[in-house]
Structure 1
Amino acid sequence: MSESKESPDGANFPQEPVKVAYSKTFEIDTLDGFQVLRIKDPQTGDSRDYTLVPKGMDAPENRAVIFTPVRDLSLFSVSFVGYLDALNALDKVKYIENINYIYNPAIIELYEKGSVMESGLYGQWNMEKLILNSPELMMINDFPESSNELNKLLKAGIKVLPIMEWQEQDPLARAEWIKVFGALLDQEEEAQFIFDQIEKDYHKASDEISPDTSGIQVLFSSMYQGVWYMPGGNSYLANLLRDAKGTYAWEHTIETGSLSLSFEEVILTSLKNDVWINPDANSLSELYARDGRYQKFVEELSGGVYQNNKRVNANGGNDYWESGVVRPDLILKDYAKMLYPDAKKGVELFYFQKLN
């Protein structure tokens, strides 16, 4: 833990900037001896600065301030659970949106004991509960916009911080957001250590995939309300597949989000594939029941269909969306197993399982 942040007399100041190697959506620099966290939205170009002030010290004027270390948090995304779990800081969680969204057994236990409460879904908060039991910091997935509900919370002294990890297209950039959580909790060294190991394991997993086995063709997702949403060529999934040395028919497109395709476009462009990942089904029979035409895709596969539903609890909480955000190394190892099973004999899938 950083002793300088705990010291009310400012000992060991100034604080140090945090090295950011992959992220495009945050920086942690210093100004006047304080760390300044800058959150950036790559879609709009907007940014917000938050000065991190050790508790017990006077805050600089005319700045958005977060006093550190933050002791309790309200989380409006299950992905935030993964970062806190990696830092062994789940005891800092005060609110989650809905317990049925949660996979982490420790959070569920804290909820059952009454230490963690439900806030209600984003924008549909239990205002009385939030104000009476105010968390120090609310974490949300976008820049906060002015609203009557949000203004009430802000007037009650609750600070709001946008967490933009979902805007990152590099898998390691999403993992690197653990450094933001480390800065908020005065656990910078732990966060850096954890990230360094994840980065090392990620590159090792990619390097171990032999060029002789590369080139496996992948199909992603399936139809949803008449549209087949396919990841764009600069998206998170495209970059993950690239690091797994796999290919897919839309890898040369420029989009960072999803492409909106028709069934006909997909079947004409990418009928013959080796592996189908995440068609949003728990079995082949469920997949065929949704649309019998899917069977033709499956018949053309050489490697099978996989869904990221291996770590799902009885209420539907899925660990892929929690720990998976901060552990792209484990996801990449799953991709290697799915794409090259003969080269990965004896390796067990962690987040995915093959559909029968």
Structure 2
Amino acid sequence: MRSIISILTCALLLCACGSRTTGSGPQGDTLVLGHSDLLTLAERGAETSVSVSDPWHQGQTLQHLTLGPTDGRGVLRPLRRVVVFTTAHCQLLEYLGLADRIVGVCDVQYMHIPDIQRRVKAGRIANCGDAMNPDVEKIVSLRPDAIILSPFEGASYGRLEKLGVPLIFAADYMETSALGRAEWMRYYGRLFGQARRADSLFHVVDSSYNALRAYAARLPKGRSVLTERITGAVWYVPGGKSSLGTIFADARSPYPFAADGHSGSLPLSFEQVLDKAGQADVWAFLYNGQRMMTRADLLREFHGYKALKAFRRGDIYECNASATPYFEEVSFRPDYLLREMIILAHPQAKLGQLRYYKKLPQSPS
């Protein structure tokens, strides 16, 4: 998982931002968040109190911090210089017109954002190495205001925790709905002192998503879609309560694993996938490569694919994540992904061309 990291320069803030507590949460006038289950924002005068629920331990708080216009004891001022570890959060800052505040990135080879690549090559953004093993000395030399990273259950952040700068835990990827994750942009905007701009963008995303959902609701039941490919002996599919699972429901696509109650990925054997989704109408998967995968490529990877109805009928759609901005966009523009799934599930839909996926041309296997 790729993550944003922003580094705050106050040691007292490290205690405030990095702690896991069972506190009472933000004090003040709570902002209404319509979709997020993990985030609570409350405004008190010029300050905003933020509470992030621990997604792994019910009833506990993963993080609590206070944002304000000026420095103060336990108060974080708007961020001016950040190190960003994930492509999705870099793209969000681009959307918000805040890309000039990025001074360092990790995993730059996975970031398909032209402006970021240009600035890295020009030396205006530092390459801080691998997100799982970042160049701490380079990060320190950048004098960033904050590190924002995606937390994991039981994770240790090594030397990053000892820098004397706080870590901001970006747990948006743990939300169970696509709009719930996107709604975190309202929090991220406030980190940079751009609440109005972030709220405005989320209103656009929310309105677009709901208009697409209403459009799909008027369509007949669509085609079923199987996602991903086998990895070794395991085929990971999105759980029924995952954000992608909810997108299939909103697209009126009968997802084969809709009855499953998991919000993450399901590790299944091919036999389990074949039993549940072998008759899926469409097979759509992500890959990284220099060219489209052919049917022959797929069969060389795993001959069992031939048992899939979608393979036999040629309803195979590929998204080359190394050539399209899939991972850059879909986290905070779930309306783009919902539109994509409506088109896959409803060929008659009048929504234009696919944005990410391409249909594999028919050819002998």
Superposed counterparts of 1:106-255, under 5 Å? 106-142=115-151, 148-153=158-163, 155=164, 158-209=165-216, 211-255=218-262
Greater Cα offset, 213-222 or 234-243: 213-222
- 2:33 is the alignment partner of 1:20: yes
Which amino acid in the other structure matches residue 51 of structure 1? T
Give distance in 2, aligned partners of 1:42 and 1:300.
Answer: 37
Q: Deviations over 1:75-108 (max 9, x none)?
A: 1221111211110111111111122111111111
After TM superposition, the runs of 4+ consecutive aligned structure 1 residues lying more than 4 A away are 14-17, 143-148, 298-303
Q: Mean Cα displacement is larger for which, 243-252 or 259-268?
A: 259-268
Confirm or deny: 8 A CA contact 1:38 1:49 kept in the other structure. Answer: yes
Please name the residue that 2:69 is paired with: 54
DSSP-derived class of the 1:194 partner: helix
- Let me know the Cα RMSD of the aligned residues: 2.4
| Cα distance, 1:343 vs structure 2 | 2.7
Deviation at 1:210, TM superposition (A): 5.3
**3-state SS of the aligned residue for 1:108?**
helix
* Range 17-26 or range 178-187, more displaced: 17-26
**The 10-residue stretch of structure 1 (209-218 or 43-52) with the greater mean CA deviation from structure 2:** 209-218
Could you tell me how far 1:174 is from its partner in structure 2?
Answer: 1.4
Give the superposition deviation at 1:31: 5.1
CA deviations over 1:42-71 (Å, ceiling 9, x no partner)? 22234210111212x5x24xx4x422x210
**C-alpha offsets along residues 7-29 of structure 1, whole Å, 9 cap, x if unaligned?**
xxxxxxx9965431111121111
Matched residue count: 328
Q: Which amino acid aligns with 2:195?
A: E
Deviates more, 1:238-247 or 1:291-300: 291-300
Matching of residue 286 in structure 1 with residue 297 in structure 2: yes
Shift of 1:270: 2.3
Q: Which residue of 2 aligns with 1:6?
A: none
Shift in Å at residue 234 of structure 1? 0.7
Q: How far did 1:238 drift?
A: 0.7
2:331 alignment partner, SS class: helix
The answer on whether the counterparts of 2:216 and 2:250 sit within 8 Å (CA) in structure 1 is no
Distance 1:121 1:16, change over 3 A: farther
Q: In structure 2, do the counterparts of structure 1 residues 101 and 212 end up closer, same or farther at CA, with 3 Å as the change threshold?
A: closer
Is the CA contact (8 Å cut-off) linking 2:278 and 2:309 kept in structure 1?
no
8 Å contact from structure 2 (residues 234, 269) kept in 1: yes
How many Å apart are 1:181 and its aligned residue? 1.5
Candidates 315, 322, 337, aligned match of 2:328 = 322
Secondary structure of the equivalent of 1:335?
helix
Contact 2:148/2:169 (CA < 8 Å) preserved in 1? yes
Once the two structures are TM-superposed, the CA of residue 213 in structure 1 deviates from its matched residue by 2.7
Contact 1:232 1:259 in 2 (8 A): yes
Map of 2:353 onto structure 1 = 348
8 Å CA contact retained: 2:316, 2:359: yes
In structure 2, the gaps of 5 or more residues are 1-26
Alignment-mate amino acid for residue 331 of structure 2:
V
C-alpha distance in 2, partners of 1:203/1:147? Answer: 38
Q: Is the 8 A contact 1:142 1:162 kept in 2?
A: yes
Is 2:50 the counterpart of 1:43? no
Structure 1 range deviating more: 267-276 or 326-335: 267-276
Q: Determine the C-alpha separation between the residues in 1 that align with 2:106 and 2:51.
A: 25
SS at match of 1:35: strand
- Could you tell me how far apart the structure 2 residues matched to 1:80 and 1:301 are? 39
SS for the counterpart of 1:350 is coil
| TM-score between both structures, scaled by the size of structure 1 | 0.85
Read off the aligned partner of 1:343 and give its amino acid letter. A
Segment of structure 1 superposing worse, 45-54 or 94-103: 45-54
**How far does residue 261 in structure 1 lie from its aligned partner after superposition?**
1.4
Deviation at 1:286, TM superposition (A): 2.1
Distance verdict in 2 for CA 1:269–1:125, change over 3 Å: closer
Residue 4 of structure 1 aligns with which residue? Answer: none
* Structure 1, gaps ≥5 residues long: 1-13
The whole-number CA distance in structure 2 between the counterparts of 1:254 and 1:331 is 22
Share of identical aligned residues, percent?
25
Q: What SS is found at the alignment partner of 2:326?
A: helix
Q: Compared with structure 1, are the counterparts of its residues 88 and 301 closer, same or farther at alpha carbon in structure 2 (3 Å cutoff)?
A: farther
The alignment partner of 2:330 has SS state of helix
Please tell me whether the aligned partners of residues 223 and 344 of structure 2 are also in contact (alpha carbons under 8 angstroms): no
Distance, in Å, in 1 between the alignment partners of 2:52 and 2:310 is: 46
Q: Tell me, in whole angstroms, the C-alpha distance in 2 between the residues paired with 1:19 and 1:322.
A: 27
